[in-house]
Amino acid sequence: MQELRSAVRFPIRLPIALNTRETSIDTAETLDISAGGVLFHVDADMAVGSTITFSIAMPADVLGTPQDVVVNCVGRVIRCTDEGGRRSVAAVIDEYRFERG
């Protein structure tokens, strides 16, 4: 099977603050991140096509920066699968903004 991804994915597990139009979810964790998307585990169902907003605090030691950097994103859910009682959700990132403390 040929790999169709256009960006390198980085396997990194970080907490993610996630909001949909219906709810706010605090129990999500990234599995991997790329320039164009994110894959995360969440305990709630999410509809494919739904718009989400989320924030990820990127640790300073991972980025090589003096302080953590928060990335605020707007994206869309493109895939949901069930994995061991949790949902794995893939989302494309449509917009992002870096926030420094």
Q: Which helix (H) or strand (E) holds 63?
A: helix 60-63
Give per-residue burial for 20-52: e unless 16+ CB within 10 Å, then b: beeeebeebebbebeeebbbbbbeeebeeeeeb
CATH fold label, 15-100? Thrombin, subunit H (2.40.10)
Q: What is the pTM of this model?
A: 0.84
The amino acid occupying position 91 is: A
**What token pair was written down for 33?**
């991140």
Q: Per residue in 53-97, pLDDT tens?
A: 999 988 888 888 899 899 999 999 999 999 887 889 999 999 999
Q: Per residue in 27-53, pLDDT tens?
A: 799 999 998 999 999 988 889 999 999
Query: Taking the domains of the chain in order of start, what are their residue ranges?
Result: 15-100
